[in-house]
Every structure is written in structure tokens, then in C-alpha cells.
Structure 1
Amino acid sequence: MHVRIITVGKIKERYLSDAIAEYEKRLTPYLKLSILEITEEKRGVHLSGGLEQIIKNREGNRILSAIPDGSYIIALDIHGKQMSSEAFAARIQELQLAGTSSVVLVIGGDLGLSDDVLIRASLRLSFSPMTFTHQMVRLILLEQIYRACKINCNEPYHK
């Protein structure tokens, strides 16, 4: 299975880059992983609601154009479904058993994801009702993917 993470923006903090690189390395034996960083829209600090929507739509169009046809899409969304690590692992395993060759996980920018991306997603996933930076979400997501791989292979790490 090829797992793609499409995310808006780059990682700026070295400590996060180092941790992300560690999980990318740990995932190598389990699946093919790629991360695509979509460029953030340039903007000022104070935005009107209409301008926020325009920015989300532009970023969303770039995200959608990067998703391979036939992919199972999981959008990270604060209003999405919350699930345990075991339930997430079970979903990944179900997709593998169903022959799904491409899973795309999408992390929006600080304004979130466009409606078009959310509508296209097969699953909207929330880690918490709390707000995290999209850079931190990337690290948490990679850790949860790794945890799912360990759970599905009955290997120690999970607890």
C-alpha cells in the first residue's frame, strides 16, 4: 500500500523535522510513504471571511490535483470522526485487505480544508476537538500510522 500525506505548508521547526524523519524511517518496512507539501497561499494577517474562503479554495484545488485517481482519501478535520488507535489500525487493515493501493491523508493549512476537499474525502478524521498546528498534526499522524502498522503486525509498541 502506498500512503501519501498531502499537507499545506512546510515544517519550519527543526525538532519537528527530526521527529518526522524518524517516523518516516520507522515506516519503511511496513509501507511506501510519500509526503507532498502544497504551497501555502501568501496573505496578510487579518483576512475577511470571503478572502479566507478564496485562500482555502486555492489550496484545496492544489490538493485535489495532487490526489491520484482511485485513492481512498482521509481528510484531517477537527469536525471529523474521532477513533481510537485500534480503530484506525483496523480501518487501514480493511483497506489493505480490500486491495486499496493508495491511501491519501490530507492536512490543511491554518485555515483548514476547502469544502471540495472535505466532500471528496471518504473519511474525515479528527485527533481531538482541540486545535493543533498543522506541523504538529503531521508528526501525530505519522506516529499513528506507525502505531497502526505495529498493531496490525501484532508487534510490540502499541501500549
Structure 2
Amino acid sequence: MKIVLLTVGKTEDAYIKDGIEKFVKRLKHYTKLEIVDLPELKNTKALTQEQQKTKEAELILKKLSTTDHVVLLDEKGMEFSSVQFADYIDKKAIGSTQSLVFIIGGPYGFDATVYQRANAQLALSRMTFSHQMVRLFFVEQLYRAFSIIKGEPYHHQ
């Protein structure tokens, strides 16, 4: 199973990039992870929030195939413990999921068309984090999930 993290915008802070790279490198032992950064919109001051979400949706939807299992990282999504998230990943890997795509949207969330395309929504927390921090938290949790699946000592209960 291939896992894709699709994001709107790039990670700018070096310490966050370093953290992401650390976990991406570790994940290579378990799965193929591809991080796709979509370009941030230009001249957004002339656009409403809804117009920005619509334009971001166009970019997001172009990157998806009909066979992708799409999970939006969204504050209104289902909440898992790390063990429950590992179980979710494991079930997708055992099942017929070929490509599992997690999406981090722009600053205003997702357009209705992206919600309609999604198979699920996942909240990393009920707290709000910057989009850059969410990337790091997500790849760490993905690594943790695989270490749980493999019974390795990274995760402690």
C-alpha cells in the first residue's frame, strides 16, 4: 500500500522540515510514503475564503485518482488513540486499499467538493495547530502506527 500526504503549501521552518525528514526516513522501512506539496495560492487578498477553498479544491482534486482512499485531516474528523490509528492503517493495508491519501488543506479548511470526494475525516486533536506543525505530528503518528503494527518498542503503553 502506498501512502500519500497531500498538503497545500510548503513547510518553511527548518526545524519542522528536519523533524519531518527524520520520520520520513524511518518510515522507509515500513511503507512507501510520498509527500506532495501543492503550491500556495497567489494574490489571495483579492479572494474570499470560499474562493480560496474552491481554488485549492481544484488543485487537490486534480491530484486524486478514482481508486485513492482519501482521508482529510480535519478538526471535525474521527479521533483515534495511537493504537486505534495503527489498527486503521493495518486494516487498510490488509484490505484492498492500494493508495491511502491523507490531505492537509489550506488555512480555511476544505471546499465542499473535497469533503464529497473524501472517504473519511481524521482529527489529530481537538486543538488547532498550524498547518506546518500538523505535517510533523502526522508523520510522527504514522511512524508510531507502523511501530505498533510491527510490535516494536517505540510506542509505550
Query: Shared fold by TM > 0.5?
Result: yes
What amino acid is the match of 2:89? I
Q: Which residues in structure 2 correspond to 1:61-76 (within 5 Å)?
A: 61-76=58-73
Equivalence for 2:2: 2
What amino acid is the match of 1:69? T
Equivalence for 2:143: 146
Is 2:110 the counterpart of 1:113?
yes
Secondary structure of the 2:25 match is helix
What amino acid is the match of 2:51? I
Distance 2:28 2:148 in 1: 16
- The number of aligned residues is 155
1:64, distance to aligned residue in structure 2 (A) = 1.0
Equivalence for 1:12: 12
Relative to the length of structure 2, the TM-score reads: 0.94
Could you list the runs of 4 or more consecutive aligned residues of structure 1 that deviate by over 3 angstroms after TM superposition?
Answer: none
1:157, distance to aligned residue in structure 2 (A) = 0.5
Q: Which residues in structure 2 correspond to 1:53-132 (within 5 Å)?
A: 53-132=50-129
Distance 2:81 2:63 in 1: 28
Native 8 Å contact 1:4 1:33 kept in 2: yes
What amino acid is the match of 1:38? L
What residue ranges of structure 2 are gaps of 5+ in the alignment?
none
Distance 1:118 1:138 in 2: 20
Relative to the length of structure 1, the TM-score reads: 0.93
Native 8 Å contact 1:39 1:59 kept in 2: no
What amino acid is the match of 1:95? K
1:68, distance to aligned residue in structure 2 (A) = 2.4
Native 8 Å contact 1:41 1:59 kept in 2: yes
What amino acid is the match of 1:73? V
Secondary structure of the 2:72 match is strand
RMSD of the TM alignment (CA)? Answer: 1.2
Q: Deviations over 1:47-94 (max 9, x none)?
A: 77xx11111011011111101221111100111111111111111111
* Identical columns (%): 39
Distance 1:56 1:155 in 2: 40
Q: Deviations over 1:21-63 (max 9, x none)?
A: 001100001000111111121212xx77xx1111101101111
Equivalence for 2:133: 136
Distance 1:70 1:118 in 2: 16
1:154, distance to aligned residue in structure 2 (A) = 0.8
What residue ranges of structure 1 are gaps of 5+ in the alignment?
none
Distance 1:96 1:19 in 2: 25
